[in-house]
């Protein structure tokens, strides 16, 4: 069990409460974190306003907590005794993917927790000696450690990209900790062996950055041009999302983390079998290589304009043996689904929680 040590981040850019929420979300409903020890109560019936994406631009003061190998930075919104929902971002994104989702869930009575993953934002390793591993299993263990530190026995997990994969792993290996799940692009658990399998040329083309990262030139290039690199990925992955520079810059600041490049490069090299993993996660990786099924209630989502590599929903539906539904979110929605379609994402979280 990690030691609890919560403190407020004094970053002035993040000291405001969730920005201007649609008038139907009363200010009194947006309750930022109280005691981390309260028992969860039931959420309110869902009557979510259909807010415009980008209504909010910032979180309230961030918090920090020692959890496992990390001191994790996270945003929190909603009543401390509300049902816990952990919202997990991907690459190259950050907690601002949920800047509109979190207040919607808070208004519905949920305790929304949005952590920076290892290598992002204010999350830091506690020891300089810790291997800077980007293994998916390591990221999942980080979130279990966060739940332990916050004394959350069970939570609904929701994510996209790396965040969806992390939620999948927790749901598969620790189903007792996962009440339900929302997963953009479905079942994303993989292995080094599956990463070695060649794909048709057009499919390989979509993974161009993975091959770039396999080289030292790629590492140096990402380090030097990480801002421009991430913006290009945003544009390719969400070709119809007209985000502005301010929206991108809020997330890009999190890539200045001293461990960001090491984590990202290791993640993609590990997937191709080009980098060794941290031995402490070997047993977990063996279990994940078997492609374990997921039994918890799940809703999978896909944007109708996702430009990033993603599987066909029919290819993974059988992986979910509990109550399950899939939805395609229309309207030119790309890879960063929670930020592009926050209302649909929040609705899915509330619905799956009630399965």
Report the distance separating Cα 114 and Cα 242, nearest Å.
24
Give the per-residue pLDDT at 196: 87
Q: Which residues pair with 300 in a beta bridge?
A: 183, 326
Question: What 8-state DSSP symbol labels residue 69?
Answer: T
Question: Of 108, 120, 22, 23, whose CA–CA distance to 75 is shortest?
Answer: 120
Q: Which residue is it, tokens 């059988």? A: 318
Question: Of 156, 24, 43, 136, whose CA–CA distance to 91 is shortest?
Answer: 136
| Residue 165 tokens, joined | 């994969």
Quick one: average pLDDT of 85-91?
98
Give the model confidence (pLDDT) of 296-351 as tens digits. 999 999 999 999 999 999 999 999 999 999 999 999 999 999 999 999 999 999 99
More confident residue, 153 or 27: 153
Contacts of 223 (CB under 8 A, 6+ apart): 261
Give the per-residue pLDDT at 50: 86
Angle of helix 282-289 relative to helix 136-149, nearest 10 degrees?
A: 110
Question: What 8-state DSSP symbol labels residue 276?
Answer: P
Report the distance separating Cα 107 and Cα 105, nearest Å.
5
| Residue 145 tokens, joined | 């450690």
Do 264 and 134 form a contact (C-beta atoms < 8 A)? yes
Question: Of 81, 25, 14, 34, whose CA–CA distance to 346 is shortest?
Answer: 25
Report the distance separating Cα 258 and Cα 317, nearest Å.
38
**192 has a pLDDT exceeding 50:** yes
What are the extents of the domains in the chain? 7-353
Q: Which residues pair with 352 in a beta bridge?
A: none
Share of residues in the chain with pLDDT > 90 (%): 85
Do 105 and 46 form a contact (C-beta atoms < 8 A)? no
Quick one: average pLDDT of 148-155?
98
Give the model confidence (pLDDT) of 258-299 as tens digits. 999 999 999 999 999 999 999 999 999 999 999 999 999 999
**190 has a pLDDT exceeding 70:** yes
Give the per-residue pLDDT at 42: 63
Please state, in angstroms and as integers, the Cα–Cα distance from residue 74 to each residue in 195, 266, 297, following that order: 31, 23, 25
Residue 37's pLDDT band (boundaries 50, 70, 90)? Answer: very low
Q: Can you say how many angstroms the Cα of residue 337 is from the centroid of all Cα atoms in its chain?
A: 11
Quick one: average pLDDT of 118-126?
98
Report the distance separating Cα 180 and Cα 350, nearest Å.
10
Quick one: average pLDDT of 248-267?
98
Give the per-residue pLDDT at 129: 97
Report the distance separating Cα 176 and Cα 189, nearest Å.
18
Q: Can you say how many angstroms the Cα of residue 15 is from the centroid of all Cα atoms in its chain?
A: 22
Question: What 8-state DSSP symbol labels residue 87?
Answer: E
**237 has a pLDDT exceeding 90:** yes
Quick one: average pLDDT of 27-54?
58
CA angle (56 as vertex; 188, 124 as ends), nearest 5:
55
CA angle (99 as vertex; 38, 234 as ends), nearest 5:
140
Share of residues in the chain with pLDDT > 70 (%): 87
Give the per-residue pLDDT at 4: 38
Quick one: average pLDDT of 188-199?
92
Give the model confidence (pLDDT) of 171-189 as tens digits. 999 999 999 999 999 999 9
Report the distance separating Cα 329 and Cα 352, nearest Å.
16
Q: Which residues pair with 84 in a beta bridge?
A: 111
Give the per-residue pLDDT at 122: 98
Give the per-residue pLDDT at 47: 78
Give the per-residue pLDDT at 74: 98
Question: What 8-state DSSP symbol labels residue 30?
Answer: -
Give the per-residue pLDDT at 87: 99
Phi, psi at 301, each rounded to 5°: -125, 155
Helices (H), the chain: 101-107, 136-149, 162-173, 192-195, 201-206, 208-213, 216-224, 226-237, 245-252, 260-271, 282-289, 337-340, 342-353
Buried b (16+ CB within 10 A) or exposed e, 77-105: bbbbbbbbbbbbbbbbbbbbbbbbbbbbb
- What superfamily would CATH give domain 7-353? Alpha/Beta hydrolase fold, catalytic domain (3.40.50.1820)
Residue 45's pLDDT band (boundaries 50, 70, 90)? Answer: low
Residue 130's pLDDT band (boundaries 50, 70, 90)? Answer: very high
Mean pLDDT of the chain: 90
**What three-state secondary structure class fits 68?**
coil
């Amino acid at each position: 069990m990690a030691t609890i040590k919560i403190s407020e981040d004094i970053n002035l850019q993040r000291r405001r409460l969730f920005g201007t929420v649609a008038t139907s979300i009363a200010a009194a409903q947006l309750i930022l974190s109280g005691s981390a020890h309260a028992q969860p109560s039931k959420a309110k019936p869902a009557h979510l306003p259909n807010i415009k994406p980008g209504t909010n631009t910032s979180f309230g003061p961030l918090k920090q907590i020692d959890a496992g190998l990390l001191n994790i930075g996270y945003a929190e919104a909603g009543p401390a005794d509300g049902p816990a929902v952990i919202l997990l971002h991907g690459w190259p994104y950050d907690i601002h993917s949920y800047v509109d989702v979190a207040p919607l869930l808070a208004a519905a009575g949920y305790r929304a927790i949005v952590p920076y993953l290892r290598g992002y934002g204010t999350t830091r390793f506690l020891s300089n000696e810790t291997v800077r591993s980007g293994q998916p299993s390591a990221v999942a263990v980080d979130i279990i450690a966060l739940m332990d530190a916050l004394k959350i026995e069970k939570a609904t997990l929701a994510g996209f990209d790396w965040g969806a994969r992390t939620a999948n792993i927790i749901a598969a290996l620790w189903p007792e900790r996962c009440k339900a799940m929302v997963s953009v692009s479905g079942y994303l658990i993989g292995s080094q062996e599956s990463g070695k399998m060649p794909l048709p040329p057009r499919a390989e083309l979509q993974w161009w950055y993975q091959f770039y990262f396999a080289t030292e030139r790629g590492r140096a290039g990402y380090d030097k041009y990480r801002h421009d690199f991430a913006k290009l990925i945003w544009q390719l992955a969400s070709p119809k999302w007209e985000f502005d520079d301010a929206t991108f810059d809020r997330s890009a600041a999190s890539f200045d983390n001293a461990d960001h490049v090491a984590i990202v490069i290791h993640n993609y090299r590990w997937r191709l079998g080009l980098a060794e993993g941290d031995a402490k996660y070997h047993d977990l990786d063996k279990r994940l290589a078997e492609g374990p099924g997921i039994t918890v209630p799940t809703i999978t989502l896909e944007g109708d304009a996702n430009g990033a590599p993603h599987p066909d929903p029919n290819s993974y539906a059988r992986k979910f043996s509990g109550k399950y539904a899939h939805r395609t979110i229309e309207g030119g929605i790309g890879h960063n689904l929670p930020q592009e379609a926050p209302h649909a994402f929040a609705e899915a979280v509330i619905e799956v929680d009630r399965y």
